[in-house]
Amino acid sequence: MAPVRQVQVTFDCAEPERLARFWCEVLGYVLPPPPKGFAGWDEFHRSLPPERQGAGFACVDPSGVGPRLYFQRVPEGKVVKNRVHLDVRVGTGLVGEERLAALEGECARLIALGAQRVRLLRADGFNESCLVMRDIEGNEFCLD
């Protein structure tokens, strides 16, 4: 069996393009080029049947290292806590007040993009501090 070489993380959501663009800003990701033969994503989406227009959107790591994120429209809204979430690693290698300052600085940037702060989980002797947040559709993620 061949090893898995790529992973895609898929989000169910109400507004795929809006959520994709939010995560592009959070992670420094970019929109992939539109399918061959289309000048842009708007042109591609207009070519689809009305029920499929805007039903999915993706963003990718420009370096090609991180996973592709895919956002698919679903009819139901988010009801319960995510079973899987992203950890945005902004405090790697930092401890104490220096780590908290990095987390708080990134939190402020993301709030300006529409994210919500949920709670700060302080270091407990086993885990370092992290900040729990929600994206623009209420999906939980952590600043770690």
How much is the pLDDT for 2? 66
pLDDT tens over the chain, length 144 residues? 667 677 899 999 999 999 999 999 999 999 999 889 999 888 988 898 888 888 899 999 999 999 999 999 998 888 888 878 899 999 989 999 999 999 999 999 999 999 999 999 998 878 889 999 999 999 999 999
- Candidates 19, 92, 8, 28; CA nearest to 54 is 19
Q: What is the largest CA-CA distance in the chain?
A: 55
The percent helix, strand, coil of the chain (3-state, each to 5) is 25, 25, 50
pLDDT given at position 7: 81
CA distance 70 to 20: 8
Give me the pLDDT at residue 124, please: 86
Distances from the Cα of 81 to the Cα of 91, 130, 139, angstroms: 24, 17, 8
Q: Tokens for 97, please give them.
A: 């007040």
Bridge-based pairing of strands 68-73 and 8-13 is parallel
